Structure 1
Amino acid sequence: MQVTNQIDNPNEASGEQGSGKKYLLPFILITSLFFLWGMAHGLDGILIPHLKKACQLNNSQSTLIDTAIFFAYFVMAIPAGMIIKKIGYKNSIITGLLVFAAGAFLFVPAANSTNFELFLFALFVIGCGLTILETSANPYAAILGPPESSSTRLNLAASFNGLAVTLAPFLGGAFILSGINYTPEQMVAMSEATKVAYFLEEASAVKLPYIILGTILVLVAIIFYFMHLPSMKQPETENEVKPGFFSVLKFSHLSWAVVAQFFYVGAQVCVTSFFVRIAQKEAGLDEKTAAYYLGIYGFLFMVGRFSGTFFLKFVKDYVLLSIYCVISVFLCLVAIYGSGISIIYALGGIGFFMSIMFPTIFSLGLVGLKSNTETGSSWLVMSIVGGAILPYAMGTLIDMKHDDIQAGYIIPLVCFLIILYFGLVGHKVKKSL
């Protein structure tokens, strides 16, 4: 279905009478995508402890769940940018939704065979779909109106990502986690047939949730196919320099945004990946209660997104980013050196203060890129590979420290220090081309 009504200058269009209403429905549809990929990522915090149990994995092996989905961002970021240039935002979104759905449906054969490698492949496919969606939706939301309000607009859309992060642990805890955990001694005493039946039952718990998710994705893709979306095209200025894929990094603020985004996504995934296990080990919570607290973390993340959208009306985006980084560093120290339920409260607080970081870094990185926005967006999405690398490093550190999960939180602490530098210095736009 071809998109018509090309808008050459969205900033001029946004100033026309009634333009707010014209962009309302497209913005709502784009916001729904933020919710859907938030649901996918929100379930990762449940999948890691669940498949660790069902597939008998150690800490570093369990983080391959993160590696599979986030490595796809690195692999697909460049193709995603090319896809957008070739077929436009709308058709790219439909493509992303269908690839995402295919990955969700692959959970069925993976569960039936209790094959961890097939789970990883399914997650990689999901990650490919998410890459196309995020490369399309983030810049589309950013340019769907005046440039000076792009951070506010992205944070508002991303607030519904936070809503999904809130709901996913509750749903995952209810429909995926069984609450049944056997000690090593009990496992040794089991017959081989009982073990196989137990692992198969645990693995099969993921089938229904992912079948439902895949079906919803297909339905949303159909809605997008039949809906009209304005084709947003960034305005070009005469004699504007158009660097290639790598030379665009000469925009120093984009380069620092890529670095900051790498460490932000790594930090976020590190915090959530080991949330359930640290809640069980250090706070003495059972599996389902730990999942409940992960849902509270998600709720605080969502509240942070909505409140951050409000605060950005009064505080410069880079200032708020820097303040939140300082607080997150302090809360990481509590998670490392604290004890009992205080650790869980600290991690919940990190969820609140991390909430604005991704969309704020994204929008600051795209400032002034004009017709290079798609290329810059590809780099920023590619930097999400931090979610593949840093959690594995954290899992390896925890294994080296003899399952000392608290020690692993030094990694997100370092991440927040690097993001702080971006908020204070790295975000500044310099004319380098």
Structure 2
Amino acid sequence: MDVSKSIEINNNDYDRADEVEIMAGMMSGESLMQPNAATGQDHRFTLTALTSLFFMWGFITCLNDILIPHLKAVFSLSYTEAMLIQFCFFGAYFLVSLPAGALVKRIGYKQGIVSGLLIAATGCLVFFPAASLQSYPVFLSALFILASGITVLQVSANPYVAVLGKPETASSRLTLTQGFNALGTTVAPTFGAILILAGAEGGAEMMADASHGADSVKVPYLILAGALVTLAVIFSLLKLPAVTHADEGAEKQTVDANQQPSAWAFPHLVLGAIAIFVYVGAEVAIGSFLVNFIGEDNITGLPEAEAAKYITYYWGGAMVGRFIGAAVMQKIAAGSVLAFNSVCACVLLAIAVLSDGYTAMWALLAVGLCNSIMFPTIFSLAIHRLGIHTSQGAGILCLAIVGGALIPLLQGVLADNIGVQLAYVMPIACYLYIAFYGVKGCRA
């Protein structure tokens, strides 16, 4: 089902009571809505504003890759303990997605976006007392609050972008906004390296002072809090097009899929949910350990502030590959491209595990290019031919993002026991499963 063909835009006065939250429908298995093709309104300004949200949550999410080595050093954490950062952050997706969908369905897109921005800003502000108290649990609480706000933002903004314009151009709009999300993940490491890691690298004496090391996060997250509050004010003043209920009769087609009791009856969806789980987990785990991996004596031995700058290449590769992959998949089957990228990722990870020096570093960074098409490709393959169960299937896939909380934690356990470099056998196993899904699982 085309999400862009599931909503009707009402360009009259903003009416909160009439708004429909698509993601809430996705989570609950409700039917989607039908659009009114005769919108004709120029939504370029609104889309520009929404694009800023995609940039911000990509930026904030990637900043975790800087926080992990920094807080690990400040609090003398094990790798397992440091991975609780990703556990708390991505765990919010699993715990907050359903409540966020219900919230946005009740208060509407506009207020949902404003609420998400304010919740995220609150999480950023909690970094200040966390640093003052020198408390790792308070840092984790701040990250959970921050991620909860981003979850509300995603539930509000992702489906909304699809309806702001002609249905036939919905895919291009989503690709563009996702590209700015990748831009945020690309520039965040440099920001974090300059403001967080560089400020904390004054030698052994400075790092031994936990209060000084913790204080280095105050300014960056206060800046982020200010940016989020500013966006909240801007969106509260914007007059966004309302989304209203439409006749759902057109989507009740007589297809074989509609005869199934639920989305869980489709093997290719269930296998796809596992693929989303391991993909997000592998992508996050690789980024989480990059600074420590690059800083290993047998790799480059670079200090953290210098090593962090190379993370840009990992996320930048994902941004570039997204547009290349979109063109390639117009001529080659999506499942084949997915399998090819997965096998390439396995080869690159094997090189990173078995070699040393810059060869290992660049091999690991190149995995970002392979990651580029995986999430949208798995998602589209998994919801293919679900009929009226498409919305429920999409909700199942969204919940599978919790892999970003669990797999990095497992890799942290491995790193503590066999070392950071050898621990990268964990994402190899993940990509092998994704290759299976591309070749066979998606056709189940």
Query: Where does residue 214 of structure 2 map in the other structure?
Result: 203
Work out which of the residue numbers 219, 232, 241 in structure 2 matches 1:229: 241
Separation in structure 1 between the aligned mates of residue 193 and residue 139 of structure 2, nearest angstrom: 19
Separation in structure 2 between the aligned mates of residue 130 and residue 276 of structure 1, nearest angstrom: 24
The one-letter amino acid paired with 2:119 is V
**What displacement does 1:228 show?**
1.2
Unaligned runs of 5+ in 2: 1-13, 21-32
Separation in structure 1 between the aligned mates of residue 100 and residue 441 of structure 2, nearest angstrom: 26
Query: Where does residue 212 of structure 1 map in the other structure?
Result: 223
The one-letter amino acid paired with 1:301 is A
Separation in structure 2 between the aligned mates of residue 254 and residue 387 of structure 1, nearest angstrom: 19
**What displacement does 1:248 show?**
3.2
Work out which of the residue numbers 261, 281, 287 in structure 2 matches 1:266: 281
In the alignment, is residue 419 of structure 1 matched against residue 434 of structure 2? yes
Query: Where does residue 294 of structure 1 map in the other structure?
Result: 311
Please identify, of 379-388 and 299-308, the stretch whose mean Cα deviation from structure 2 is larger.
299-308
**What displacement does 1:102 show?**
1.1
Contact 1:151 1:363 in 2 (8 A): no
Work out which of the residue numbers 299, 302, 305 in structure 1 matches 2:322: 305
Q: Secondary structure at the match of 2:197?
A: coil
Please identify, of 278-287 and 140-149, the stretch whose mean Cα deviation from structure 2 is larger.
140-149
**What displacement does 1:347 show?**
1.7
TM-score, normalised relative to structure 2: 0.83
Alpha-carbon distance change, 237 to 409 in structure 1, aligned in 2, over 3 angstroms: same
The one-letter amino acid paired with 1:260 is A
In the alignment, is residue 112 of structure 1 matched against residue 113 of structure 2? no
Query: Where does residue 45 of structure 1 map in the other structure?
Result: 65
Separation in structure 1 between the aligned mates of residue 335 and residue 162 of structure 2, nearest angstrom: 16
Separation in structure 2 between the aligned mates of residue 307 and residue 169 of structure 1, nearest angstrom: 23
Alpha-carbon distance change, 418 to 88 in structure 1, aligned in 2, over 3 angstroms: farther
Alpha-carbon distance change, 154 to 367 in structure 1, aligned in 2, over 3 angstroms: farther
Q: Secondary structure at the match of 1:231?
A: strand
Percent of aligned pairs sharing the same letter: 37
Work out which of the residue numbers 22, 26, 35 in structure 1 matches 2:55: 35
Query: Where does residue 257 of structure 1 map in the other structure?
Result: 272
**What count of residue pairs does the alignment treat as equivalent?**
411
The one-letter amino acid paired with 2:101 is G
Separation in structure 2 between the aligned mates of residue 249 and residue 100 of structure 1, nearest angstrom: 33
Work out which of the residue numbers 336, 343, 354 in structure 2 matches 1:326: 343
Contact 2:186 2:315 in 1 (8 A): yes
Alpha-carbon distance change, 269 to 231 in structure 1, aligned in 2, over 3 angstroms: same
**What displacement does 1:302 show?**
1.9
Separation in structure 1 between the aligned mates of residue 48 and residue 388 of structure 2, nearest angstrom: 25
Once the two structures are superposed, residues 123-147 of structure 1 have per-residue CA deviations (whole angstroms, 9 ceiling, x without a partner) of: 0111211222223333344565677
Q: Secondary structure at the match of 1:56?
A: coil
Alpha-carbon distance change, 369 to 220 in structure 1, aligned in 2, over 3 angstroms: farther
Query: Where does residue 145 of structure 2 map in the other structure?
Result: 125
Contact 2:17 2:106 in 1 (8 A): no
The one-letter amino acid paired with 1:206 is V
Unaligned runs of 5+ in 1: none
Query: Where does residue 300 of structure 2 map in the other structure?
Result: 283
Once the two structures are superposed, residues 57-78 of structure 1 have per-residue CA deviations (whole angstroms, 9 ceiling, x without a partner) of: 1111000000010111111122
**What displacement does 1:205 show?**
0.8
Please identify, of 387-396 and 311-320, the stretch whose mean Cα deviation from structure 2 is larger.
311-320
Query: Where does residue 25 of structure 2 map in the other structure?
Result: none
**What displacement does 1:266 show?**
0.3
Query: Where does residue 9 of structure 1 map in the other structure?
Result: 34
Contact 1:266 1:386 in 2 (8 A): yes
After superposition, the CA RMSD in angstroms is 3.1
Query: Where does residue 28 of structure 2 map in the other structure?
Result: none
**What displacement does 1:23 show?**
4.6
Separation in structure 2 between the aligned mates of residue 345 and residue 101 of structure 1, nearest angstrom: 35
Alpha-carbon distance change, 289 to 33 in structure 1, aligned in 2, over 3 angstroms: same
**What displacement does 1:3 show?**
5.0
Separation in structure 1 between the aligned mates of residue 337 and residue 386 of structure 2, nearest angstrom: 23
In the alignment, is residue 170 of structure 1 matched against residue 182 of structure 2? no
Q: Secondary structure at the match of 1:405?
A: coil
Q: Secondary structure at the match of 1:166?
A: helix
**What displacement does 1:292 show?**
1.2
Query: Where does residue 412 of structure 2 map in the other structure?
Result: 395
Query: Where does residue 360 of structure 2 map in the other structure?
Result: 343
Separation in structure 1 between the aligned mates of residue 302 and residue 285 of structure 2, nearest angstrom: 20
Separation in structure 2 between the aligned mates of residue 367 and residue 171 of structure 1, nearest angstrom: 39
Q: Secondary structure at the match of 2:108?
A: helix
Separation in structure 2 between the aligned mates of residue 83 and residue 291 of structure 1, nearest angstrom: 37
Once the two structures are superposed, residues 327-381 of structure 1 have per-residue CA deviations (whole angstroms, 9 ceiling, x without a partner) of: 1111111111121111211122111111222233334444455765554443222
Alpha-carbon distance change, 344 to 97 in structure 1, aligned in 2, over 3 angstroms: same
Query: Where does residue 5 of structure 2 map in the other structure?
Result: none
The one-letter amino acid paired with 2:269 is L
**What displacement does 1:199 show?**
1.1
Contact 1:106 1:122 in 2 (8 A): yes
Alpha-carbon distance change, 322 to 93 in structure 1, aligned in 2, over 3 angstroms: farther
Separation in structure 1 between the aligned mates of residue 94 and residue 79 of structure 2, nearest angstrom: 23
TM-score, normalised relative to structure 1: 0.85
Separation in structure 2 between the aligned mates of residue 280 and residue 322 of structure 1, nearest angstrom: 31
The one-letter amino acid paired with 2:294 is A
**What displacement does 1:54 show?**
1.1
Separation in structure 2 between the aligned mates of residue 195 and residue 170 of structure 1, nearest angstrom: 21
Separation in structure 2 between the aligned mates of residue 54 and residue 116 of structure 1, nearest angstrom: 9
Separation in structure 2 between the aligned mates of residue 178 and residue 239 of structure 1, nearest angstrom: 58
Separation in structure 1 between the aligned mates of residue 434 and residue 245 of structure 2, nearest angstrom: 30
Alpha-carbon distance change, 341 to 297 in structure 1, aligned in 2, over 3 angstroms: same
Contact 2:112 2:153 in 1 (8 A): yes
The one-letter amino acid paired with 1:216 is A
The one-letter amino acid paired with 2:192 is G
